[in-house]
Structure 1
């Protein structure tokens, strides 16, 4: 995930490149947009959406919080929902997945 600078209102955008997919097309980087609650202690809450339109008919939303460890390293703890397009309402039950991810800053 690559996130651009956060503006003065807490909004940001970027790209997300996943390593996993059930889509039949090759994985490509996908746009993300989000917002965070600006905190002086850098341990803000945030949310962002990833539109997998480049290779899949699905969208994911992530929510979480940034934690700053004693070493100064920032860790993003997230929970997510991924919604895939289905052909009918009878398939609706299998269209949403949930999970958790932990992100750290690359050096």
Structure 2
């Protein structure tokens, strides 16, 4: 009797696992992070490269924040949870940021980008280099629309 009950449960579990495996992350679209910054990523080309734009909600400057271009590449992987990297060339300050991350798709199909970034700003002398690099993390979720 226990074997008869286990078969449907096992089948349901396998169906859920195969559906989750079929969900692949799609980087294209509009994303927002926990600080309110927005990022738009264009479609991937055949080599896995993409472009886009980044509009930060936070900056250490008195200048007007401008939308800035980004360029990146995706390593599609075999499990659908793609890794990627991109750089943002800030248009309002003398700095650049490199992001690396991975896209995760949960069992409900929700996509999340977990990223780590390094920001390097220009400093006047090599002696000031110690304060020129910052590191942080961002979590992006897809903006529906």
Judge same fold: TM > 0.5, yes or no: yes
Higher normalized strand content (fraction of residues): 1
Structure 2 unmatched runs, 5+:
1-38
Partner residue, 1:49:
87
Partner residue, 2:136:
99
61, 68, 71: which is aligned to 2:98?
Answer: 61
- CA-based RMSD of the aligned residues comes to 1.0
How many residues align? The count is 106
Whole-angstrom CA distance in 1 between matches of 2:61 and 2:97: 14
Partner residue, 2:69:
31
Structure ID, larger Rg: 2
| TM-score scaled by length of structure 1 | 0.95
Whole-angstrom CA distance in 2 between matches of 1:41 and 1:16: 27
Structure 1 unmatched runs, 5+:
none
56, 63, 67: which is aligned to 1:18?
Answer: 56
| TM-score scaled by length of structure 2 | 0.71
RCO higher in structure (CA 8 A, sep ≥6)? 2
Higher normalized helix content (fraction of residues): 2
